[in-house]
């Protein structure tokens, strides 16, 4: 069944950003129900949210064309997550005191699901001690607060009070919808390419985008794990609620991974680490010459092989294998040689799989088994990989 997200919209100018949030979530196939306060309808027409969500917008508790007596209760029962975005000082004050004088606050009070509050208001209103105390009270009540940002506000002031980034709010919602199946687990994920310097302005790298590693980090985090992401240079933004360590070269990655490897219950090496680096990189820019230029390459240390050799008891080690030929054979050999529990093999020749795509076609290889997985999004692949990693442990189920 589709997860149900109730989005409460209150009367602030940031309400226009909620349209994008509803649109994004709808595309991900959630069941979205918007409740607006009367003031919110001064900023955005309910029809906008109705068109975007595909569901009728609730505003008035006593709407005569509607089953008013049950609407707030049925939505409250249905909701897997209730998020108020934007949340004005007024609505925050009401919800911490249990006031229920419209559809939004009535439904909120009746709801027992996860609740997320995204304040957006003028800096003065936000900094007012009463608002600060109310926000604190929300936290004590177990509501998640997505703090507003600093910036230029619609009133012309510059300061805190700007609605948090929509992507951040979306991630908080998706995180709240998951069962914490990996709670208490510490997982290290490596992602992206490495860069091996030729001189101060040039380097050798590969096509890795870091997307598969990011998908793994995001899903592991959503499932409640404590995630450390060790990432080579990518164009991706840092993920919230994840400890991200940025590295450049294979040597940096080796150092950052191995020095903390003992802390983790599971290490997933999705990074495309360079096998060779430049021997004696130039300290000054290399000038062009008439003749050919020869670069001397030397081997880097194999991080995965090192981790396999120094694996602590019960630690789960998952490698990746990107191949252009003999996928299964090569991946299985890597699994055995590097002492991995499993290796995720993908072929660069398969359409929809590989470096820069949002989808992947993986095969899960263990020393004694092979499991083919259909082409799917990298996030769906990530879920399957994590389930495979923790297979046999009681906290992982198949939903
Ligand atoms: N890997 C690593 N350190 C390296 C090279 C690779 O940790 N110096 C890891 C990768 O993160 C990946 C796995 O080893 O999880 C396999 O990487 P891949 O490049 O497919 O294979 P290699 O072992 O490097 O072998 P080859 O390049 O010959 O295929």
pLDDT of residue 317: 98
Please, is 163 exposed, middle or buried when counting C-beta atoms within 10 Å of its C-beta (0-12, 13-18, 19+)? Answer: buried
- Rounded Cα–Cα distance for residues 385 and 399 (Å): 14
- pLDDT tens digits along 336-382: 999 999 999 998 888 888 787 899 999 999 999 999 999 999 999 99
Whole-model pTM over 0.85: yes
pLDDT of residue 61: 65
Nearest protein Cα to ligand 1, atom 4:
302
Q: Out of 81, 118, 155, 188, pick the active-site residue.
A: 155
Query: Can 4-176 and 186-389 be said to share one CATH topology?
Result: yes
Domain 186-389 has CATH 3.40.50.10300: yes
pLDDT of residue 257: 98
CB within 6 Å of ligand 1 — which residues?
A: 250, 269, 271, 273, 275, 300, 302-304, 319-322, 334
pLDDT-flagged residues of the chain (< 50): 395-399
Nearest protein Cα to ligand 1, atom 28:
275
- pLDDT tens digits along 274-320: 999 999 999 999 999 999 999 999 999 999 999 999 999 999 999 99
Query: The tokens of 294 are what?
Result: 């020869």
End-to-end CA distance of the chain: 11
**Annotated domain spans of the chain:** 4-176, 186-389
Give the distance (Å) from ligand 1 centre to CA of residue 337: 11
Domain 4-176 has CATH 3.90.420.10: no
Q: H helices within the chain, ranges in order?
A: 15-27, 40-43, 46-53, 68-78, 89-96, 103-110, 123-127, 129-140, 166-176, 211-222, 250-260, 303-309, 327-337, 378-389
């Amino acid at each position: 069944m589709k997860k149900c997200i109730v989005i409460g919209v209150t009367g602030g100018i940031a309400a226009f950003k909620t349209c994008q949030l509803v649109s994004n979530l709808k595309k991900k196939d959630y069941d979205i129900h918007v409740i607006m306060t009367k003031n919110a309808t001064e900023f955005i027409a309910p029809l906008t949210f109705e068109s975007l969500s595909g569901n009728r917008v609730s505003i008035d508790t006593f709407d005569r064309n509607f089953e008013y007596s049950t609407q707030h209760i049925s939505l409250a029962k249905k909701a897997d997550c209730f998020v108020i975005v934007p949340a004005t000082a007024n609505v925050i004050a009401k919800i911490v005191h249990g006031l229920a004088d419209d559809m939004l606050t009535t439904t909120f009070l009746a709801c027992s699901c996860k609740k997320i509050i995204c304040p957006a208001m003028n800096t003065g209103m936000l900094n007012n001690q009463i608002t600060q105390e109310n926000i604190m009270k929300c936290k004590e009540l177990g509501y998640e607060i997505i703090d507003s940002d600093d910036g230029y506000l619609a009133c012309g002031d510059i300061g805190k009070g700007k609605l948090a980034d929509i992507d951040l709010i979306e991630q908080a919602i998706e995180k709240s919808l998951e069962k914490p199946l990996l709670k208490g687990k510490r997982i290290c994920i490596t992602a992206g390419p490495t860069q091996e310097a030729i001189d101060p302005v040039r380097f050798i790298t590969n096509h890795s985008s870091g997307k598969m590693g990011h998908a793994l980090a995001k899903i592991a985090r959503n499932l409640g794990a404590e995630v450390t992401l060790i990432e080579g240079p990518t164009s991706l933004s840092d993920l919230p609620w994840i400890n991200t360590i940025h590295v450049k070269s294979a040597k940096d990655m080796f150092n950052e991974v191995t020095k903390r490897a003992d802390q983790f219950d599971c290490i997933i090496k999705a990074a495309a680490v360079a096998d060779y680096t430049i021997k004696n990189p130039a300290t000054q820019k290399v000038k062009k010459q008439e003749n050919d230029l020869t670069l001397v390459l030397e081997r880097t240390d194999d991080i995965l092989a090192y981790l396999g050799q120094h694996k602590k008891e019960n630690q789960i080690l998952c490698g990746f294998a990107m191949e252009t030929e003999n996928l299964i054979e090569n991946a299985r050999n890597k699994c055995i040689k590097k002492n991995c529990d499993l290796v995720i093999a993908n072929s660069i020749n398969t359409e929809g799989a590989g470096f820069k795509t949002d989808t992947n076609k993986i095969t899960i290889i263990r020393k004694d088994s092979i499991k083919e997985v259909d082409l799917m999004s990298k996030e769906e692949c990530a879920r399957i990989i994590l389930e495979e990693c923790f297979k046999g442990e009681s906290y992982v189920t198949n939903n």
